[in-house]
Amino acid sequence: MRGSLFYQTSCTLWRRQRNPKAKPHRRILSSASFSTADHDEGDAFQSNPSKVKIFDRHLKSKQRDRAAWLLRPNDSFVHAVAENLVDRLEDCKKTFPTALCLGGSLQAVKPMLRGRGAIEKIIMMDTSHDMLKVCKSSQPDSSNENIETSYVVGDEEFLPIKESSVDLIISCLGLHWTNDLPGAMIQCKLALKPDGLFLAAILGGETLKELRIACTVAQMEREGGISPRVRDAGNLLTRAGFALPGVDVDEYVVRYKSALDLIEHLRIMGETNALLQRSNVRQLLDNDILKRETALATAAIYDSMFAAEDGTIPATFQVIYMTGWREHPSQQKAKRRGSATISFTDIQKQFGNGT
């Protein structure tokens, strides 16, 4: 699916929005010493780090602190992704009494869980204390009666959740910033109870392709080189051991008045650059140290290459939706390899090859 929207001071989109309300039982907790991550001594945050470090998790937490106070209540792109993700609960007949919501777009997901999945308890988790504080205070106290809500400061890389303790895990636009995405997903699977559901939306490799093209051209012209980029990982659900995996991809095309408006939107979402080795081209997304000459050239090239007749510029966001279940005897299972009683050759002979 390919959606299109226009971003001005606030986004407007074709998707409906629900009336956000808050929950009666709420508290913010620091991450506990228990975790589904492997660790030797107590606190999960002190466990052995990933061997390969791509992202600066401390910087990403600071960016999310900043984004917490820039958040706008009606970001059409974020709400469209959150609604598309949460809508998958409508296809499930089973109930999910305890839900864990990880990082990313907490504020958008929270009100959408109301009335879905028979949820009785929600744990909202983020690396940013400020993001949790804003999420907690942004809703009035009159909604989601009889649903207990907790707020936990924690890291998806070292999940501070007991094994087999939750029925549902939702992550909307957050997991793509983890250094070890398969490892984080394995921890999510371990935190789920048997037959528990994992739902996630992450940004794919085609996201911001227009900006990357403009940046590359500008830096080649002004600074004589480009820098390497992180590539997509494949088959993540299978590697993490989820049963009944499902993946689908949507593309959203957001239109902005200028490249600067695009960058401001990325800052508001907490999606600016957090690579450990940040190059000048990538720092355009951080809008701090990039050479002024290159930044202006990037904006000009973006406009000349992609601007529409009305003067707006497009930005493509590729969103990958993932669904997986923790194994349970009641689930459907694939037949053993080689157990088929008829070959594709026989089928082709019976029905013809279509020529």
Instruction: Give the distance, in angstroms, between the CA of residue 135 and the centroid of all CA atoms in the same chain.
Output: 17
Query: Apex CA 67: angle with CA 297 and CA 104, to 5°?
Result: 105
pLDDT score for 103:
86
Nearest to residue 83, comparing CAs of 165, 190, 3, 163? 3
CA atoms within 13 A on the CB side of 106: 34
pLDDT score for 188:
96
The answer to whether 322 and 245 have CB atoms below 8 angstroms apart is: yes
Q: Report the chain (355 residues): mean pLDDT per 10 consecutive residues.
A: 47 34 45 46 41 82 89 86 93 92 90 88 94 81 69 93 95 91 93 96 88 75 42 66 88 91 88 68 46 76 90 92 90 74 79 63
pLDDT score for 290:
53
pLDDT score for 212:
82
Task: Give the per-residue SS3 of the chain.
Answer: CEEEEEECCCEECCCCCCCCCCCCEEEEEECCCCCCCCCCCCCHHHCCCCCCCCECHHHHHHHHHHHHCCCCCCCHHHHHHHHHHHHHHHHCCCCCCEEEEECCCHHHHHHHCCCCCCCCEEEEEECCHHHHHHHHHCCCCCCCCCCEEEEEECECCECCCCCCCEEEEEEECCHHHCCCHHHHHHHHHHHEEEEEEEEEEEECCCCCHHHHHHHHHHHHHHHCCCCCCCCCCCCHHHHHCCEEEEEEEEEEEEEECCHHHHHHHHHHHCCCCCECCCCCCHHHHCCCCCCHHHHHHHHHHHHHHHCCCCCCEEEEEEEEEEEEECCCCCCCCCCCCCCCCCCHHHHHHHHCCCC
Q: Give the tokens for residue 292.
A: 């002024």
pLDDT score for 44:
36
pLDDT score for 25:
44
